[in-house]
Structure 1
């Protein structure tokens, strides 16, 4: 028995040594795995922090851009409101100018009543028999009141009512000296309402019935404006050229020249 124990003792020692070595290697391997895991966790944490920083910077930049856009939008809105106000003011000044001009032109165009009706002996000439039978005598004062009432509606920017009033005047007084003006202002009121097709028809009545009246040239300018508004640039140009040909010395011709240059 003692001899047998002596034979197994080296084997046991060898096994114990192998186990010790194997255990040390496992411990080292475990230690290595923990270090690697900690390193990976640390690297991942660094990457996450970098990503968070990047996203935070991007978010801050985006917020700054949004704020800048809001400020720019507010600035542009203010400019639009200012331009709208200036446009409305310009339209109002233009209306006032044309109304004032219309009154001055009427004073120049309308002769004194006495010069039209008085005879050499101071008595009024009798109206033709057929004319007296066909229509009532005109009342210039009443016509003027009706006309100015329609013009005041236009001046007050009551465009729909103004157009209707001028149309009614033209129908009620087709032979009045104010008839071409009434058609012209009716066309302006319709144009301001963007009813360009009707406005063109109304303007053309002036050109057809009263081609020598100063409103004829102005009406052609109105026709050209409506054609341009309707997208018919070619017809608008033709109409403006017609103004230069038919009414070269009119103020409308100067307007036509300016528009043709554009």
Structure 2
């Protein structure tokens, strides 16, 4: 069935080929317009395709599948569509990138806002706790009469005690020197204060406390003007306490520690030695 059709087609092509030169040699009075020119182009294209079919059939002897004449147009249309799709994809990708960037920025803003809200909540909680905490009780008012007078300096306290002793107020001097020894146990003049404190106690006949005061005064055997007299007064207190041996031991140290003691002190020490019946 295909061969008669092909023969007809071949015959038509031959006629066209024969008539073609004749037609091309026929003069035309008017030039072709654009539409006619397109029609001629299509006819020539069809002729070329038919010629190709004929020669292909002649060479191979196989049936020929005729492709539509507008294949190139369709291919171009498909290419255009593909180009449009690529442009659309490009625009979509750009929009997606922009959306992703905006989403990241929104997340960062949300995180910062959450941090600010947390800080504000912490501050509010702290303020509420502070407001709820009970107020500290006010300090009780202090009457000026209840405030003790400022404590005198060590120098002032020593001077005040000496003034009382020189004035003959042995009770007051005894209390003042005793307070000085209590308040300034490691003071520079505390040993001397102990010596004068012992003097006031001797004057009052309190020999036991006087002996204790003298012992504290001469501890370490200080090289001072009052130290020899303190040893002599200690020996006298020990004799009064019925401790002659201890008195003699103190007098022995007096001559050894203070060989240049004043004459008045040496004379009093000699008298006390006789009273204690010290040897030699």
TM-score range (shorter-chain normalised) is 0.3 to 0.5
Between structures 1 and 2, the one with greater helix share: 1
